[in-house]
Amino acid sequence: MDSDSSSDEEEEEETNEDTKPILHLKKVAHAGCVNRIRSMTQQPHICATWGDTGHVQVWDFKSFLNSVADSGPVAHKEDDIIHNHVPLKIFNGHKDEGYAIDWSPLVTGRLVSGDCNSCIHLWEPSSSTWDVDTKPFVGHSASVEDLQWSPTEGDVFASCSVDGKICIWDVRTEKKPCMSIKAHNADVNVISWNRLASCMIASGCDDGSFSIRDLRFIKDDGAVVAHFEYHKHPITSVEWSPHEASTLAVSSADHQLTIWDLSLEKDAEEEAEFRAKMKEQANAPEDLPPQLLFVHQGQKDLKELHWHPQIPGMIVSTAADGFNVLMPSNIDTTIAGIVDN
């Protein structure tokens, strides 16, 4: 029986070796470093890239995506080939490199790009290419770090900057902000506009804090709904869940990715039970906000995260040492193991 059992285990190991996932990829040459890449919501094969050369380029990756989709179960040597591909559009009107770029979720092909020289340019789709307005939107006094289109208004977008401000713009009006909010006392690195509760916008700061504001309260600089100082290093990415209006994911240069539920409030009984469970974990922090649901660790220098649009709860995160796909389970207000290694 022992012999049979051992044989079965060996056979299972061999089977697992044969069924390991194969990663297929296509590589495309890009002039200079890629500062940021975004795919169009309506046509995901159309992508825009910001390069450290100061150029913004739009690409059609349809043939490469189809090739990857048609790949078989065996890796090919062609996966290492770097393909030379001509962009659909190259815009060199920015005066400096940049990182801020976003496609409109409501107007197909509409794009905005912002640079480190505080300028924002609007891209409008034409019959076969894009017309880029050479006159920029001006309202920030320092580098534009991130851009987000409104999820409900096709002509409205938001920007954040090293000047500590969040600005709201309307492309139908003069190229000045309709609303300017002093959001943080340091660089505002990233913003995320809630697609399920469009009055809410989240912002991540260079000092490690992040805030949520209600844009309905214009006179109060967008009233602060919540402010957290859990992370101790710059916030590198924030994004609202596409499936839960109160859930937000945050990544930081402190090598942590956290998930928050803003609908939760302190409960004395649950908090006591939670603290008792946390004491059982080595190196567990003592004072945690009740809204903190989950902490993912193990990646070095986290750069960006995105929720999966079809699979609720799934997140892809990129870092200096690669990318992770994670899906926290049993997330509730009494987590037994909040730290994921």
- pLDDT tens-digit profile of 291-333? 999 999 999 999 999 999 999 999 999 999 999 999 987 554 3
User: Which of these, 283, 281, 210, 200, lies nearest to 252 by C-alpha position?
Assistant: 210
Terminal C-alpha separation, the chain: 37
Whether the per-residue pLDDT at 220 is higher than 80: the answer is: no
CB atoms closer than 10 angstroms to residue 151: 17
d(CA 147, CA 144): 8
Whether the per-residue pLDDT at 5 is higher than 60: the answer is: no
Whether the per-residue pLDDT at 76 is higher than 70: the answer is: no
Using DSSP's 3-state secondary structure scheme, residue 118 falls into coil
Whether the per-residue pLDDT at 84 is higher than 50: the answer is: yes
Using DSSP's 3-state secondary structure scheme, residue 90 falls into strand
Whether the per-residue pLDDT at 92 is higher than 60: the answer is: yes
- Sketch the domain layout of the chain as residue ranges: 240-341
**Confidence band, pLDDT 50/70/90 cuts, at residue 1:** very low
What predicted TM-score, i.e. pTM, was given to this entire model? 0.85
Q: What stretches of 194-306 show up as alpha helix (H) in DSSP?
A: 268-279
Helix (H) or strand (E) holding 53, with range, is none
Whether the per-residue pLDDT at 192 is higher than 50: the answer is: yes
Query: What is the pLDDT, as a whole number, of residue 335?
Result: 37
CB atoms closer than 10 angstroms to residue 81: 9
Whether the per-residue pLDDT at 138 is higher than 50: the answer is: yes
The strand ranges marked E within 52-108 are 56-60, 82-83, 89-91, 98-103
Query: What is the pLDDT, as a whole number, of residue 174?
Result: 87
Whether the per-residue pLDDT at 37 is higher than 50: the answer is: yes
